[in-house]
Structure 1
């Protein structure tokens, strides 16, 4: 085998995405982003509730 054949053997062709695949990938990305934002909001609210109303009365 020549050196050129050896180097081409390891090449991987780039995928060709259809419009439907791109649309579904965008939808999945949006779903993940909304889920992360919701979890962040949930953790923030739970933290504020657990700290209670006195968190604003503490000295700086």
Structure 2
């Protein structure tokens, strides 16, 4: 099996994209967590 050799620019671009995707996913997880806490917290207060 032959692997593709990436240039330094391609490696840097891929790394930046991976970091951005990771941050977006972490942000979504945090958002859903906060929304869930607010929903359940509001329901328990009454």
Name segments (4+ residues, structure 1) moved above 6 Å.
none
Structure of larger gyration radius: 1
TM-score (norm 2): 0.83
Kindly indicate whether residue 5 of structure 2 is the aligned counterpart of residue 21 of structure 1: no
Query: What are structure 1's unaligned runs of at least 5 residues?
Result: 1-11, 56-60
Higher relative helix content: 2
3-state DSSP class of the match of 2:28?
A: helix
Aligned residue pair count: 44
